[in-house]
Amino acid sequence: MDRQTSFDTINGVGRALSALADLGTIVFAWFLARRIFGVRTAHLTALLLALTVLHIQLAHFFAVDTYVACFAADRCSLANAPGSARVWRTRCWPASWLVWQVPARSVR
């Protein structure tokens, strides 16, 4: 019985989840750059972020930094959305607090 969560194969699951978080970071950074600077700059942002060696290396070792970057990019893109004052107060602050507290608690 070949399970995906056995000791020998758990790194594949972690790498897949880190890759999804990195894709989310690229998408949220694209939305943020498109909103602020325009489509050409958004494409350049996504390309440069996709080719960043640090993201590739952290996805390889399935570190917590990829998830933090994804949620931080999500919060920043939501904070810059139309009508963002209400969104920031009700959704972004609590989620931002949670994003920064979870990795700090896991290190201790």
Question: Could you read off the pLDDT of 17-59 as tens digits, one per residue?
Answer: 888 888 999 999 998 888 888 999 999 999 999 998 887 888 7
pTM: 0.70
Contacts of 84 (CB under 8 A, 6+ apart): 78
The Cα 96–Cα 90 span in angstroms is 11
Question: How many Cβ atoms sit within 10 Å of the Cβ of residue 67?
Answer: 21
How much is the pLDDT for 62?
74
Domain spans in the chain, listed from the N-terminal domain onward: 10-107
The Cα 74–Cα 68 span in angstroms is 10
- Measured CA to CA in angstroms, residue 97 lies from 14, 53, 72 at distances of 24, 27, 10
Which has the closest alpha carbon to 84: 41, 22, 36, 50? 36
What is the residue-averaged pLDDT of the chain? 77
Lowest mean pLDDT among 41-45, 48-52, 77-81, 84-88: 84-88
